[in-house]
Amino acid sequence: MISTEAALALRDSGLVWTPRSGDRFQLNEPEFDADVFTVSEMTIEARSYPTGTILAFNGTTEWALDSVALEDALWLPTEEQLREMLRGSFRALRRLSDTYEVEIVVAGAVRTFAHPEPADAYAGAVLALLARIA
């Protein structure tokens, strides 16, 4: 799973989240640091209004939290979602002895991003693409 630090870096670099069923997220509150939530029509659903999107916690959750603004949630994209963001630039994911390496091609140049967790290696590659767009 992607680290909180990598997810924060993605958000801070301008990555926009449109919640869909199965997406995981954390809340930007110290008391929820260890909790990971999943968007699901049964328990947590995204509701869009003219004023913005909220994540509504339906009655099946074990604690009393009605809803949170999307801005107060931190999306934790999966490896698959991060790979999709790389689109045609993605070339390979390699397992090395103690790390994973993601290879992409940007403007004809090969770039690699290594991390002990594959999701964070993908996040590094996505960050590089976002920096290029900005």
Q: Are 19 and 53 in contact (CB under 8 A)?
A: yes
Determine the pLDDT at residue 10: 98
- Tell me, what's the pLDDT at 62? 47
pLDDT tens track for 19-35: 999 999 998 777 777 88
Domains of the chain: which residue ranges?
18-75, 79-133
Catalogue the long-range contacts made by 46-55 (C-beta closer than 8 Å, 24 or more residues apart): 46/19, 46/20, 46/70, 53/19, 55/19, 55/25
Residue whose tokens read 């976002």:
130
How many Cα atoms are found within 13 Å in the side-chain-facing hemisphere of 124?
A: 17
Cα 120 from chain centroid (whole Å)? 10
